[in-house]
Amino acid sequence: MKSEDTPFEGGPMDGRVLPVLVGMTGHPPKTYRIPVPAPDGGPPTVLVYRRVPREGGGRIGFARWKYAYDPTGKKGGRRRWPWSKPDATPSVKPDDAEG
């Protein structure tokens, strides 16, 4: 597998550069989760970083990425395919169809 040295910005990983595996398209994952074990043996804390474009430099045609800290750690939140769920209100009312 191929990896790319990717910088991390913000949060506890600020300023570090880690090798991140890239996919077949040459892009690293959109979200990078780092589990941090709790000192008392409890459930681990998960640090969430989101992939964002890196400013400046780079070769033409190649995207350069960095990871920015997401303190909320929430998932995307938007529906990817808005047409996949049927509309709750019908377009034709039963009373209008008789007229």
For residue range 28-70, list pLDDT tens digits in order.
999 999 999 998 988 999 999 999 998 875 565 455 889 999 9
pLDDT at 94: 57
Q: What is the pLDDT of residues 60-69, one digit of tens each?
A: 545 588 999 9
Cα separation, 79 vs 96, whole angstroms: 32
Nearest residue to 69 via CA among 95, 82, 90, 51: 51
Cα separation, 51 vs 69, whole angstroms: 9
Q: Answer yes or no: is pLDDT of 91 > 90.
A: no
pLDDT at 76: 58
What's this model's pTM, rounded to 2 decimal places? Answer: 0.67
